[in-house]
Structures are given as C-alpha cells and as structure tokens.
C-alpha cells in the first residue's frame, strides 16, 4: 500500500549558502524526491556586455574581472586574447609565460574554492578552512604581482602590467611543492572517506551524449569520458609547449567530477613549475598601438576556464570600442543542465549535484 | 576500513600550523609595492593633460583647467574623483606621464556619508604635502565620457 503524498514547491535561495551566490532554484518535491527544479537567475546581472559597447578595448579589462570573480586572470586573458587575435599582435614569449603562470595559479585558487564549498555543501566544515588557507597564499602572490586581491586587471593588450621578480617566482615555486603535499593531505582527509564516497558515487549520472546535447564543458563534460579541453583541443597561448595531461573519467557522476578537479590542480602545478623553469628573458610588454583600433571584422577566442570552455566574441567596426561584445560563460551552459540532471533524485543529492557543477553567479548572470 | 583515521591524523597534523590570518585592527597587513589603494594626487606635478580622465573606465575623474593666454599652456584649476564609483583599476596611474596621480596604500575606505567619498585635492594629498599646493580656480571641466559619442548603430554584416 503506497502512502499518498502531496507535491510541495519551495524556493532554494536566493540567499542560501549552498547556492554559491544569489541563485534561486524553485524546487518541487514529492516527499524526499525532486520532481522538478526551475532555476531563476539574473540577480547579479550587471549588463557587462552592453557596457562594453561603450568602452574602449583596454577599458573593458576591469569589467571582465567582475564577471567570473574567482578566475579573473583567465577572464582578462580571454578578452585580451580576442583583441590580440583581431589585431594580429605578436606577444613576447616572456609575457606569455608569465600569463600562463598567473592563469594556472588562478585556476588552482578557483578549484580550491570549489573544493572547499562543495564539501561544505556535503556537511564537511574543516576542508573549507584548509582550502581557504592555501588559497590565501595564492591570492597574496597574485596581489603582489597585480596590485589587487581578486580584481587583478593584470593583463594588457600586448603583454602584462608588471614583470615578475625572481624572488616572486621562487616563492611561487616553493609554494607549488607545498601544494602537492597539501593535495595529498586533502586526499587523505576527504577523498578516501567512505561516507563522502557514498554521498557522491553514482549520483547525478549522465552520459556523453547528454553532456554534448546540453553543451556542457570543463569537468562536467570530461567526467563522461570525453577529453575536450581547449588547452589541448584548440591550443592557444603557449600551451602546446607544455607537458601536461587532461584528466578524464568515464563514470559521469559527481565523484568523477570531483576526482577530475583534484587532478587538474596537480596538472596546473606541473604547468606552473615547467613555466618557471623555462621562463625566457625578454620584455613583459610587446609593441601594442597606443590607441587600439582593431580592423573591421569579428573574432571568437576561447580558452579553458576552471569551469569549462569560456569564449569572447567581438565584432569590431573599426573604432576604438567594440560594436558587439559577447561572452560565452561555461557555468551558464553547465547550470542550464541542472534541472535535467536532478529529475527524480533526493534533495541531498541535488545539493551535491549543484555543488559539483561549480557555478559562479557573477559569470552566469554577467 | 579505518580510512577515517587518516582524516583525523591530517587534522591533528595541521592543528599546530602557522596561521596565515592576522589580528586585523591591532595588526596591520603588509601592503606590497604597486598595490592599488586610494589615490594620492600631486597638484604641483599635474599638467592637466586629461590623460587620466580619458582612460578611466568609470569616468569618475574630473579635470578642471584653463589655458594661459600668453604661454598657451594648460593650467590646472581643480581635480576631483567621485570615489564612490572608482573601481581602483589603476589605469589613471599608468596613463599619467608625470606621475601626478599614484595609487596609494590607503585601504580603509568606508565612510559615514556619500559626500565623504567625494575626493577633493585636499583629501588626496600624499603624506608630507602641505595644502599650499592645492589649486582652486575657474576653468573648463573635462570628464572621460565627454569626448566620446556613440556613432549611429547600423547592421554591417
């Protein structure tokens, strides 16, 4: 005899700790089962794409900092790289190496925030504190080179703002050694834990066809066995020169996404160490025109952000500001699949799935 | 089994680590060189070239100046920043050819009223400068947004 239950609709957020920002999900449940989730976004919408049409190309860089605020260096690079592609600029190798160092450092910092908050969602408090302690060291390093803690505005069209000192590079190198040990510790603390594993294994499973249909990218796609990573698939910057791997898994569940991100941190450390070892001498700023007026035309430039395939599309009309400036935010596409993944799962699993998508609402809403 | 013991061991190991946080109001953070805090303005150096106002993304800098009728040189009359809207990107500092505006090391930016966030030359004087160098005159005001007007939008493809 089945018990008669009634459907209940409530809203998760917009000010809920497990929604990682101002994200609201209208959840319909039947007992413990999720019947339907309706994401409501736009609370953090600032109209950056429209603002950018009124700004000169260098003036857009500080605005990109404020979109996906956990990986501002990569946002900077995406915009700057698009403009450079449009201009056909030659970037000094030294500048490109420094860019890779700061981008990979930022990727580690972003993954650390994800790691801490994801486990906070699952009810583990102390990993969050360890993650933020390590992240603080990275942010201090980036603060020193760029001048700000989160809103770096470090990239310039043609190079970077300031050069890295030998002392700074040495400290980055030392910290990378420490970070490898810390990640080993994280695995001891969390990854091997049976309770954690039973919370994430076989939860939120989908296959490669589903991931492609929804346009997922980043760890959300690589957990299904597809090894799509822009750094390898459509190489940009000097990534072909570096020796690193793209971690993939085939199970397609939250556990796979977790393992992939942990391994990505180790790969980023590898890249940073290689970049510091092979850093060539040279100028940190190339020959960029004073007034940046790209030729008429359009360009799409995409990079691998910590959350997936991030792209910048610029239509230039030959003036000093873009005619149209569009941003492809990976977390927006990843979040769009959230209702489809969560159909019929438990409420607690829904939180784990949302945490594993790794959303940053600054990037989703733009 | 007993994987949880590893977790406990890790927590125990990190319990006696050196902290990265500081006791803030008693202990002040070390500000690295080139850090972007609130501006310092040097009125004696400024040549009123408007480069900072032109490059500012949020168009908060106003440069008031007039032209000397004899030497044809620009003379600064007033310089203000609407600090409420400033995003501390440091572009003004980079654009300035004579280092008249510098990003300082002031990070305690809270105030009780909006009016206090309006930065006059007196408020932006670097330490050790007397208010004698401050200039106040009547001239032509210039802001970043003034020179640019958006051309008529038309579909070009």
B28-57 pLDDT per residue, tens: 888 888 888 888 988 888 888 888 888 888
Instruction: Please identify, in words, the CATH class of the domain defined by A8-365.
Output: mainly alpha
Determine the pLDDT at residue B150. 47
The answer, yes or no, to whether residue B96 has pLDDT greater than 50, is yes
In the sheet with B118-119, reading across from the earlier edge strand, the strands are B118-119, B74-82, B61-67, B140-143
Q: Per-10-residue mean pLDDT for chain A, 366 residues long?
A: 76 77 87 87 88 87 89 91 88 90 92 90 86 89 88 88 89 90 85 84 88 90 89 88 89 90 91 90 83 88 90 88 89 89 87 87 85
Which of A63, A153, A159, A178 best probes binding to B when mutated, by most B CB atoms within 10 angstroms? Answer: A153
Residues 6 or more apart whose Cβ sits within 8 Å of residue B117: B82, B83, B84, B111
Supply the pTM of this predicted model.
Answer: 0.88
A340 CB contacts (<8 Å, ≥6 apart)? A206, A210, A214
Size of interface A-B (CB pairs under 8 A): 74
Please judge whether B150 and A147 are an interchain contact, meaning their C-beta atoms are less than 8 angstroms apart. no
Closest-CA distance of chain B to residue A204, Å:
25
Interface touch A62/B103, C-beta < 8 Å: no
CB atoms within 10 A of CB A321: 20
State whether A189 and B6 contact (CB < 8 Å). Answer: yes
Chain A residue whose CA is closest to B11:
A189
What's the pLDDT at A107? 92
Interchain pair B10, A185: CB under 8 A: yes
pLDDT at B157 over 50: no
Q: Average pLDDT in the B57-70 region?
A: 85
* Conformation bin of residue B14: beta by default, left when phi > 0, alpha when psi is -120 to 50: alpha
CB A247 within 8 A of CB A260: yes
Question: What residues of B are in contact with residue A192 (Cβ under 8 Å)?
Answer: 3, 6-7
User: Cβ separation of B35 and A148 shorter than 8 Å?
Assistant: yes
Q: What is the per-residue pLDDT for A300? A: 92
Its ipTM equals 0.80
For residue B108, pLDDT over 50 is answered with yes
Cα separation, A72 vs B20, whole angstroms: 23
pLDDT attached to residue B154: 44
A202: left (phi over 0), alpha (psi -120 to 50) or beta: left
Residues of B in contact with A317 (CB under 8 A): 151, 156
Is the CB of residue A261 less than 8 Å from the CB of residue A285?
Answer: no
Does residue B155 carry a pLDDT above 80?
no
Q: Structural domain boundaries of chain B?
A: 34-142
Shortest CA gap A31–chain B (Å): 32
Inter-chain touch A147–B55, beta carbons under 8 Å: no
Proportion of chain A in helix, strand, coil states, percent, rounded to 5: 50, 15, 35
Average pLDDT across chain B, whole number: 81
CATH number of B34-142: 3.30.70.3270
B35 touches chain A (CB under 8 A): yes
Confidence of residue B152 (pLDDT cuts 50, 70, 90): very low
């Amino acid at each position: 005899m089945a018990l008669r239950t009634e459907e209940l609709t409530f809203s998760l957020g917009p000010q809920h700790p497990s929604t990682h920002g101002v994200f609201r999900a209208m959840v319909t449940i039947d007992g413990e089962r999720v019947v339907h989730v309706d994401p409501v976004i736009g609370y953090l919408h600032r109209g950056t794409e429209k603002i950018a049409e009124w700004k000169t190309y260098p003036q857009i860089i500080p605005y990109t900092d404020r979109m996906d605020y956990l990986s501002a260096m990569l946002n900077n690079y995406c915009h700057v790289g698009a403009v450079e592609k449009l201009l056909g600029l030659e970037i000094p190798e030294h500048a490109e190496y420094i860019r890779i160092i700061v981008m990979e450092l930022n990727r580690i910092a972003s993954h650390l925030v994800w790691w801490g908050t994801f486990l906070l969602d699952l009810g583990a408090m102390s990993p969050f504190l360890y993650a933020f302690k390590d992240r603080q060291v990275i942010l201090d390093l980036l603060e020193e080179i760029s001048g700000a803690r989160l809103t770096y505005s470090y990239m310039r069209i043609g190079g970077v703002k300031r050069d890295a000192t030998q002392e700074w590079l040495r400290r980055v190198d030392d910290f990378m050694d420490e970070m490898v040990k810390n990640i080993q510790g994280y695995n001891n603390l969390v990854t091997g834990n049976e309770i954690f594993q039973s919370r994430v294994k076989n939860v939120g499973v989908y296959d490669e066809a589903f991931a492609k249909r929804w346009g997922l990218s980043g760890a959300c796609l690589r957990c299904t066995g597809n090894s799509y990573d822009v750094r390898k698939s459509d190489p940009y910057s000097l990534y072909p020169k570096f020796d690193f791997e793209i971690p993939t898994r085939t199970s397609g569940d939250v556990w796979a996404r977790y393992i992939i991100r942990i391994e990505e941190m180790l790969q980023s450390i590898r890249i940073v160490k290689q970049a510091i070892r092979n850093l060539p001498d040279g100028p940190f700023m190339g020959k960029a025109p004073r007034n940046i007026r790209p030729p008429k035309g359009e360009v799409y430039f995409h990079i691998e952000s910590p959350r997936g395939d991030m792209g910048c599309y610029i239509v230039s009309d030959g003036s000093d500001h873009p005619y149209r400036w569009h941003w492809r935010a990976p977390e927006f596409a990843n979040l769009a699949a959230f209702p489809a993944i969560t159909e019929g799962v438990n409420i607690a699993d829904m939180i784990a799935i949302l945490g594993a998508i790794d959303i940053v609402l600054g990037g989703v809403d733009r | 089994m007993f994987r949880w013991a590893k977790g406990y061991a890790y927590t125990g190991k990190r319990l006696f680590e050196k902290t990265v946080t500081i006791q803030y109001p008693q202990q002040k953070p070390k500000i690295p060189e080139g850090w972007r805090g609130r501006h310092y303005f040097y009125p004696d150096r400024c040549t009123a070239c408007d480069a900072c106002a032109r490059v500012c993304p949020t168009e908060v800098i106003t440069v008031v100046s007039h032209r000397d009728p004899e030497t044809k040189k620009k003379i600064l009359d007033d310089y203000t920043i609407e600090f409420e809207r400033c995003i501390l990107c440091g572009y003004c500092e980079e654009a300035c050819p004579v280092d008249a505006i510098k990003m300082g090391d002031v990070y305690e930016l809270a105030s009780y009223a909006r009016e206090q966030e309006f930065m006059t030359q007196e408020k932006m004087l670097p330490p050790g400068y007397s208010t004698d160098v401050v200039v106040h005159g009547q001239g032509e005001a210039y802001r970043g947004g003034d020179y640019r007007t958006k051309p008529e939008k038309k579909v070009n493809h």
